[in-house]
Amino acid sequence: VSSPDAAAQTKLTGGRAVFKKLFEMAPGAKALFTRVNVDNFESPEFNGHIMRVMGGLDVLVNYLEDTATLDSLLAHLASQHAVRAGVTKGAFELMAKVLMGGLPKVVENFNPDAW
């Protein structure tokens, strides 16, 4: 397994765990992901969605110290999701809760105050 393949597999595994937890906490949230074949966590469509989400998070983390760019990226992300029916501020707050619950399990010396 090459290094890029291992990194992609790690993102995919982590992303599946994130979405599994999200749907445990809010089963109705699955309805927001029907266009990416959410009922089959192994499908190419859902795997692609997971990789886009995890890649987006990776980009955001890399710009945490550049607030102007981070704000621009977040505004773009918000505009992409604003057009999706059912996506609310509460949905993003729930996703943040899921991430903050899972990050300490995979990030060494995780500091929630840094986030």
Is 76 annotated in a binding site? The answer is no
CA distance 59 to 74: 10
Question: Which among 48, 50, 45 has a CA at the least distance from the CA of 20?
Answer: 50
112, 100 in Cβ contact below 8 A?
A: yes
Residue 65: CB atoms within 10 Å: 7
Known binding residues for heme b are 81
